[in-house]
């Protein structure tokens, strides 16, 4: 799979009129704590509450007329599904979305509000994805992969492009990593703009396939557990691993309790509700998983679709 900056620039032109150019905000308190210069790219303020519409729009806008007429289908823990539903609405095609049983209620409600048909199946993302692929074959719909697709990756790469056009002098970019579409897209953009930028992925110990596969330079089976970072949960693909080995510098892991702490930290210090998947970079910084002293750091805040009751519980537990 070949993806270049040219693909990301085309994606940016294709989707920019349909999305929010999300802000970069400086975190004084985290900068002081880490002895670095820390910035947040606020994709929690994107349409649907996450970065996912970028890839979905780029992919669905690129479909042929007959593919749009037949409709699209995808599997998602929630955020990708909302992106697909939004994009399908904009082009006038129907969307069928399969989510696992544990998908947060706020994400399921967002999918319904965007006009997509929702199917709940499986205990995790992989089971939902298998079922969605079966439905794609029987219905003739085009399957929109959540992360291993060149159009999706190029679309997600516009997050990095936008940020670096505003601040091209970043030293390190921290990227929450699930399937890998976001980190691969951002890494391609970043390394093209400045090969010296370090791109580092962050996962939870509860779902660590990137960490171990990257270290071994091959696909490695790992144990999966329930995680607050539900959007990062699940397997990765061979093609994205090849891209990561070419463009990404490293991956680090954080603990579940550190993810909870980071979610609470963001609510208290910056007054933003962010989901666990978006908080792993903050967790890594708060617990010194990456040496950032003296560096200018870009941390991607990937989404804000967290159930308010869950966050309230975490805040009460982390006083």
Question: Which residue shows structure tokens 């580092």?
Answer: 200
> Above 90 in pLDDT, residue 171?
yes
**CATH node for 53-143:** 3.40.50.1100
Which percentage of the chain shows pLDDT scores above 90? 82
* Residue whose C-alpha is closest to residue 99's, from 112, 81, 116, 72: 81
Per-residue pLDDT averaged across 31-50, rounded? Answer: 97
- Indicate where the chain has its CATH 3.40.50.1100 domain(s): 5-50+150-317, 53-143
Cα 199 to Cα 171: distance, rounded to the nearest angstrom: 9
Q: What is the pLDDT of residue 77?
A: 65
The pLDDT > 70 percentage for the chain reads: 99
pLDDT at 296 over 70: yes
pLDDT for 202-215, tens place per residue?
999 999 999 999 99
CATH number of the domain at 5-50+150-317, please? 3.40.50.1100
What is the model's pLDDT at position 36?
Answer: 98
Q: Please compute the mean of the pLDDT values over residues 269-296 and round it to a whole number.
A: 97
What is this structure's pTM?
0.94
Inform me whether the pLDDT recorded for 108 exceeds 90.
no
**Is the pLDDT reported for residue 319 higher than 90?**
no
**Model confidence band, residue 89 (pLDDT cutoffs 50, 70, 90):** very high
């Amino acid at each position: 799979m070949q993806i270049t900056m040219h693909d990301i620039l085309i994606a940016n032109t294709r989707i920019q009129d349909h999305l929010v150019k999300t802000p970069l905000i400086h975190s004084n308190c985290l900068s002081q704590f880490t002895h670095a210069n820390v910035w947040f790219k606020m994709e929690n303020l994107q349409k649907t509450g996450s970065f996912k519409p970028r890839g979905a729009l780029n992919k669905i806008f690129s479909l042929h007329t007959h593919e749009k007429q037949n409709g699209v289908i995808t599997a998602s823990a929630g955020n990708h599904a909302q992106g697909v539903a939004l994009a399908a609405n904009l082009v006038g095609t129907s969307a069928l979305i399969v989510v696992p049983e544990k998908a947060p209620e706020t994400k399921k409600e967002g999918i319904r509000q965007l006009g997509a048909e929702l199917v709940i199946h499986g205990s995790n993302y992989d089971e939902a994805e298998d079922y969605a692929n079966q439905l794609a074959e029987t219905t003739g719909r085009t399957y929109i992969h959540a992360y291993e697709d060149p159009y999706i990756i190029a679309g997600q790469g516009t997050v990095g492009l936008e940020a670096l056009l505003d601040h091209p002098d970043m030293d390190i970019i921290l990227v929450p990593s699930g399937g890998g579409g976001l980190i691969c897209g951002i890494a391609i953009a970043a390394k093209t703009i400045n090969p010296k930028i370090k791109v580092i992925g962050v996962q939870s110990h509860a779902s660590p396939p990137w960490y171990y596969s990257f270290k071994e330079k091959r696909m490695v089976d790992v144990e999966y557990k329930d995680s607050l970072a539900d959007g990062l949960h699940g397997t990765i693909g061979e093609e994205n691993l090849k891209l990561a080995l070419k463009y990404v510098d490293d991956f680090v892991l954080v603990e579940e309790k550190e993810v909870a702490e980071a979610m609470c930290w963001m609510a208290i210090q910056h007054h933003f509700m962010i989901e666990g998947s978006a908080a792993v970079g903050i967790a890594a910084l708060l617990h010194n998983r990456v040496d950032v002293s003296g560096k200018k750091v870009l941390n991607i805040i990937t989404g804000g679709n967290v159930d308010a009751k869950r966050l309230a519980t975490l805040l009460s537990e982390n006083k």
